[in-house]
Amino acid sequence: MRPALHAEWTKLRTVAGPGWLMLGMIAATVALSAAAASVVTCAADGCGGDPTKLSLVGVVLGQAPAAVLGVLVISGEYGSGMIHTTLTAVPHRVTAFAAKAITLTGVVAAAATIAVLGSLLAGRLILSHHGFTAAPGRPALSLTLRATTGSILYLTLIGLLSLGIAAVVRNSATSIGVILGLLYLLPLLAQAIGDPHWQRRLEQFAPMSAGLTVQATTDLGSLPLSPWAGLGVTAGWAAAALVAGGLLIRTRDA
Amino acid sequence: MTAVTTAHPAGRRTTRDGFRQVLHAEWTKFRTVLGWVAGMGVATLLVVLVALLAGVSSDQKGSPPVPIGPGGEAVTDTCYFVHQPLAGDGSVTVAVSALDSSIPQGLGDLRPGVVPWAKAGLIVKESTRQGSPYAAIMITGGHGVRMQDNYVNDRAGLRGPVSAASVRWLRLDRSGDTITGYAGTDGTNWAEVGTARLSGLGSSVQVGLFVASPQVVDGMGTTGSVSTAAFGDLRLHGGWTGGEWTGELLGDHSPSFAGFPGNGSGSFTQSGGRFTVTGAGDIAPAVRETLPTGGTLNDILTTGTFAALIAVIVVGALFITTEYRKNLIHVTLAASPRRGRVLLAKAIVLGAVAFVAGLVGAVLAVPLGARLARANGVFIFPVTPWTEMRVALGTGALLATASILALCIGAIVRDSAAAVTSVIGAVVLPYLLIANPFMPASVANWLTRVTPVAAFAVQQTLVQYPQVASHYTPYQGYYPLVPWVGLAVLAGYAVAGLAVAAVVLHRRDA
């Protein structure tokens, strides 16, 4: 396993793409969060909304580069034919795939930590200028902590979900289309649906809307799922995609 | 030398690498790759399936019927109406000395406020039936004297607000089907504000005073309002002779009427020729925000079109990047050395297929989705057959243009992942922002002017009315650009992409 991990890390480290993608993820997350925080204003009768969730809204955008990295880690190899070399070097295919998943987890989690903490800091600084300094505007530390770690985990899970999907689909363009559709389309579909019951079902099931419930720190009763259960749904998606990808890599001709 | 020339006659040579051959070659490539054809099929399917889902899942069963105006448009027809039936031709005059509005602040606490489109004045209405033809002259909260008729027509008269110091005199004359409105400041000198022709008006009509007070735009939402007007010297002239005045709230069960704020109610008091009338609601065309049971073709199509966009963007990018990956591009460019033509041929083939995919999707989705939605009680804002055709053709053009843009980006960056990510990003990000109901109208409208999502304007079926205050945002189905101009914004990006791709393809080693 260790040589496989080392090989994957070397592959990831020595091309420019992953580094740019992770920088893009950090920039996109922090930029959107800061923009959202600077747009909101407090009404006269108090600050509504959830300041922590608002400061982390950039994750919605930052997940796209994470997903693209997850796809490229494997489909890039199919595109260039590198996969033959990889599987010759590590004939036990599941090990090779697991090494990819572990390396990806480490890289995305590290970048996500910077992105999420950066967003939170930017949001705090901007929101305190908008009158969010009052006590009701500051949720309990444990809730903020859950939102923070949850967002980091969420971004990592999206990377893994993409890796799994790309292992099934193989073609990078199609994989990116599928994963971005899965992430962004389902919540929009929930909006298009008129029946509140169906709407809630879809929100409980879609990887993005379920997973991002972990960011909520106020008004927890109105969530479609409890925060950790929501992240669990995203984890379920990632696990299912990884298992399907692992099985297909094992059985299919490369 | 001559032998060579005769062996390859000039005519045959030109047909060999003529544009038709390039086009044919590209069409053959496209149709023989199962994944690309399937991708376009998926696009059509997504448009239809999402429309079906939106239709099936809508839930407005048992909602009250929406009043329809004389022009066939959805209207709101709620006001407090002090009226009596009057036969034949005649004239009515009144002096308005006050129009005061209240807006709830917090929980039902009414405070005085400005309601720009609060209305108080004289009205001639065919009957008290919802959506019946009318003509009215009125003083408004912030837009001076107006003459309005049949819900959609609006003309401006005397400017300035009304008060005890500046009383406004209003007059309506009926002569057959023609109603003429006048306004003045003293009751003797009258200036004509406008004329309305109400076709098919019977001999007896309802004539009287009305007060309406629409919702006001308040930050991200709207609040109901209530207004009270003071009238004096209500007089009938000409052939009209007065009877008893009766007051009633018209259209209090209308789906576009949210009720009186703070548990109030409409009322009127009379002493001699002086009247005090309190009312709410509006007599105006219905807008999306005031009609919660309403839906549009836009709602049925847009999400599915967005899904289909992702599919055609993937196919568009792959149509060229696959050639680079498989090195087929060398063969393609050897067969047709004029590279710009190859790009153009690809764009035409791809655009045509995507257009058909979108057109077929929309043609199937609109009637099916609308029918299911109507069966579930949703009121679909009426559209003309021309608008419906524009929506269908526009959906095809939208998909075609987006796929061509993806093709060009693919030709420029040569990498499918990068091309797909950047084009989807350019469409998805602004779309997500405008699809957010909490997005400020200014930001949303700016995004739908300059980014590729401007093209979604081609699916809009709603009309903005300056005389109705509402949030006219893309989320509500109102776009800042007219349909074809919106599409032209995306087309501009595609043309720029084509130009850059042609230059790059020409200059760079393949």
DSSP letter string over B138-180? EEESSS-EEEEETTTEEEE-S-S---SSS-EEEEEEEETTEEE
Q: What's residue B4's pLDDT?
A: 43
DSSP percent split of chain A into helix, strand, coil, nearest 5: 80, 0, 15
Separation of CA B92 from chain center:
37
Domains in chain B, ordered, with CATH? 17-61+293-507 (no CATH), 75-289 (2.60.120)
A3 vs B: CB within 8 A: no
Residues of chain B in contact with residue A181, where contact means CB-CB under 8 angstroms, are 307, 310
Interface of A with B in 46-65 (CB under 8 A): 60-61, 64
CA distance A216 to A147: 7
Are the Cβ atoms of A194 and B60 closer than 8 angstroms? yes
| Contact status, residue A194 vs residue B51, Cβ threshold 8 Å | no
Reported as a single tens digit per residue, the pLDDT across A3-62 is 888 988 888 888 888 889 999 999 999 998 998 888 776 554 455 567 788 888 899 999
From B106, B295, B303, residue closest to A188, measured CB to CB? B303
Walk along chain B (510 residues) and give the pLDDT tens digit of each residue.
444 444 444 444 444 558 898 999 999 999 999 999 999 999 999 999 999 988 888 877 878 888 999 988 899 999 999 999 999 999 999 999 999 998 887 666 788 888 999 999 999 999 999 999 999 999 999 999 999 999 999 999 888 888 888 999 999 999 999 999 999 998 889 999 999 999 888 889 999 999 999 988 877 778 888 999 999 989 998 888 878 899 999 988 888 888 888 777 888 999 888 999 999 999 999 998 888 788 888 888 988 999 999 999 999 999 999 998 888 888 888 888 888 889 999 999 999 999 999 999 999 999 999 999 889 888 889 888 999 999 999 999 999 999 999 999 999 998 888 899 999 989 888 888 888 777 778 888 999 999 999 999 999 999 889 999 888 888 888 999 999 999 999 999 999 999 999 999 988 887
Task: Compare all CA atoms of chain A with the CA of B36 and give the residue at the minimum distance.
Answer: A174
Q: Which of A178, A185, A200 to mutate to test binding with chain B, by most B CBs within 10 Å of its CB? A: A185
B296 vs A: CB within 8 A: no
The radius of gyration of chain B's CA atoms, rounded to the nearest angstrom, is 30
Are the Cβ atoms of A193 and B425 closer than 8 angstroms? no
Distance from CA of A174 to the nearest CA of B (A): 6
Q: What's residue A49's pLDDT?
A: 66
CA distance A171 to B183: 72
Residues of chain B in contact with residue A64, where contact means CB-CB under 8 angstroms, are 421, 425, 428
B427 vs A: CB within 8 A: no
What ipTM, to 2 d.p.?
0.86
Q: What's residue B107's pLDDT?
A: 63
From A60, A79, A198, residue closest to B57, measured CB to CB? A198
The radius of gyration of chain A's CA atoms, rounded to the nearest angstrom, is 19
Distance from CA of B477 to the nearest CA of A (A): 12
Residues of chain B in contact with residue A76, where contact means CB-CB under 8 angstroms, are 417
Residues of chain A in contact with residue B325, where contact means CB-CB under 8 angstroms, are 79
Are the Cβ atoms of B416 and A177 closer than 8 angstroms? no
From A39, A72, A184, residue closest to B417, measured CB to CB? A72
Q: What's residue A42's pLDDT?
A: 57
Q: Phi/psi zone of residue A48: left (φ > 0), alpha (ψ -120 to 50 degrees), beta? A: beta
Task: Compare all CA atoms of chain A with the CA of B51 and give the residue at the minimum distance.
Answer: A192
Q: Which of A172, A197, A202 to mutate to test binding with chain B, by most B CBs within 10 Å of its CB? A: A172
- Reference B290, options B279, B282, B300; nearest CA is B282
Task: Compare all CA atoms of chain B with the CA of A197 and give the residue at the minimum distance.
Answer: B57
A82 vs B: CB within 8 A: no
- Reference B410, options B422, B397, B400; nearest CA is B422
Distance from CA of B43 to the nearest CA of A (A): 12
Q: What's residue A28's pLDDT?
A: 92
In the block, residue with structure tokens 């599928």: A178
User: Tokens representing B490?
Assistant: 């995306």
A184 vs B: CB within 8 A: yes
CA distance B355 to B394: 9
Q: What's residue B109's pLDDT?
A: 77
Are the Cβ atoms of B420 and A60 closer than 8 angstroms? no
Q: How many domains does chain A have?
A: 1
Residue B282 has, within 13 A of its CA and on its CB side, a CA count of 30
CA distance A130 to A134: 10
Residue B72 one-letter amino acid: G
Q: What's residue A133's pLDDT?
A: 54
Q: Residues 6 or more apart from B80 whose CB is under 8 A from it?
A: B210, B211, B212, B247, B248, B249, B250, B266, B267, B268, B277, B278, B279, B280, B281
Count the neighbouring beta carbons within 10 Å of the beta carbon of residue A221: 5
- Bridge partners of residue B137, in order along the sequence: B122, B147
Residues of the domain holding A219: 2-251
User: Tokens representing B50?
Assistant: 């999402």
For residue B123, give the 3-state DSSP assignment: strand
Are the Cβ atoms of B317 and A71 closer than 8 angstroms? no
Task: Compare all CA atoms of chain A with the CA of B410 and give the residue at the minimum distance.
Answer: A173
Q: What's residue A12's pLDDT?
A: 86
Q: What's residue B231's pLDDT?
A: 94
For chains A and B, CB pairs below 8 A equal: 92
A75 vs B: CB within 8 A: yes
Phi, psi of B249 (to 5 degrees): -90, 115
CA distance B102 to A92: 76
Burial code (b: 16+ CB inside 10 Å, e: under 16) for A161-193 equals bbbbbbbbbbbbbbbbbbbbbbbbbbbbbbbbb
From B58, B376, B420, residue closest to A176, measured CB to CB? B420
